[in-house]
Amino acid sequence: MSHRQSALGRPSSGKKRLKDLLVQRDNRLCADCDQQILSISMLEVLCCPQENLGTHISRVLSVTLDEWSEEEIDAMMEVGGNASANSIYEAYFPEGVKKPRPDAPHEERTKYIRSKYELQEFLKPSLRIKSGGPSSKQSLQASLSGKKMNEKQGSMDNKVPSKNANGVPEFIGMLKVRVLKGTNLAIRDMLSSDPYIILTLGQQKVQTSVVTSNLNPIWNEELDLCVPHDYSSIKLQVYDHDMFSADDIMGEAEIDIQPMITSALAFGDAGMFSDMQIGKWLKSYDNALIEDSTVNIVDGKVKQDLWLRLQNVESGEIELELEWTPL
């Protein structure tokens, strides 16, 4: 029996595994320019083949037309696609460098692709490898696969947060959330609302003060959340405070903190680096971001500004600032 026949005979074929990967949110657009995807290369999902890089840098495979080996499929599945790979390949953008738009000229996209993969200009310096042959590409891809596998193993090992001798859950860090302001919030009383915000992470809940009769409240308050090993997204909910009845919901949003924490852990001690961008949470149709949110080292601290459009409500925006402190 041929390799292809044996693969087709399995409950989950290689092509199906790849297609399942493509429908994931972060893999619907090109890793390099956010255009419609066509191919997969260097463990990322891409819109246009990159043959000009040479096979010692990148081998391009079509999801539908090319045959994939089991090793290639396993490597792709281990990394998980664009979000994980770009947290490495685009960890650091030098000043003045921007990701090309889908309608950017071919020359601009080619220059960006060479800078990203061949010259490795956006990698954390300690991960840069000379591209002198196949071993360099394999080494870098091994770093990516190893990173993803370590994350998977950590997640499996920490489904229940570890506890110390006193039975208290151990945490990996502290997240300081500065709730800045709201804009154009929904009316829930006669002419206005009395808004406040609740943030939920696991079993933790923290709350801002109530701002009376204001659809454009300014809080500028800091709320602290401990982040466990098995952290999930933060749920943000806005409520209208009522004196004599249940508080009315004024919208909600989910905050994905993985890009920030993954980037922060990859760089380690932020105090050793000058100001720079180290990660990014990308806007998409199925999250609450109004624009892409970058993770930056600022004055030796890892910070992220968020501009969110509230969901399941007629109107409303919230602005936040996150600051990560490892434990």
pLDDT in tens, 241-279: 998 889 999 999 999 999 999 999 888 888 888 999 999
Q: What is the pLDDT of residue 302?
A: 96
Q: What is the pLDDT of residue 163?
A: 57
CB within 8 Å of 33: residues ≥ 6 apart: 47, 99, 100, 101, 102, 104, 109, 112
Q: Strands, DSSP E only, in the chain?
A: 39-41, 44-46, 60-62, 171-183, 195-201, 204-207, 218-228, 234-240, 248-255, 276-281, 293-298, 301-309, 317-326
Sign of CA dihedral 139, 119, 107, 283: positive
pLDDT string in tens for the chain (327-residue length)? 444 343 334 434 666 776 777 666 666 667 666 665 545 554 455 555 444 555 455 555 555 556 777 777 776 666 666 776 777 777 777 777 888 877 778 788 778 878 877 777 777 655 555 444 444 444 455 555 454 445 444 443 433 444 555 555 578 999 999 999 999 999 999 899 999 999 999 989 999 999 999 999 999 999 999 999 889 999 999 999 998 889 999 999 999 999 999 999 888 888 888 999 999 999 999 999 999 999 999 999 999 999 999 999 999 999 999 999 988
Tokens 């890892």 sit on residue: 302
What is the Cα–Cα distance from 245 to 90, expressed in whole angstroms? Answer: 49
What is the Cα–Cα distance from 292 to 288, expressed in whole angstroms? Answer: 10
Q: What is the pLDDT of residue 16?
A: 72
Q: Which amino acid makes up residue 168?
A: V
Widest pairwise Cα distance in the chain? 74
Question: How many whole angstroms from its chain centre is CA 31?
Answer: 13
Alpha helices by DSSP H, the chain:
3-8, 14-22, 70-79, 82-89, 106-113, 134-157, 258-267
Does pTM top 0.75 for this prediction? no
Tokens 């004055």 sit on residue: 299
CB within 8 Å of 80: residues ≥ 6 apart: 21, 24, 148
CB within 8 Å of 185: residues ≥ 6 apart: 193, 195, 215, 216, 217, 238, 250, 251, 310, 315, 316
Q: What is the pLDDT of residue 193?
A: 95
Q: What is the pLDDT of residue 222?
A: 95
Q: What is the pLDDT of residue 25?
A: 64
What is the Cα–Cα distance from 78 to 136, expressed in whole angstroms? Answer: 19
pLDDT in tens, 205-225: 999 999 999 999 999 999 999
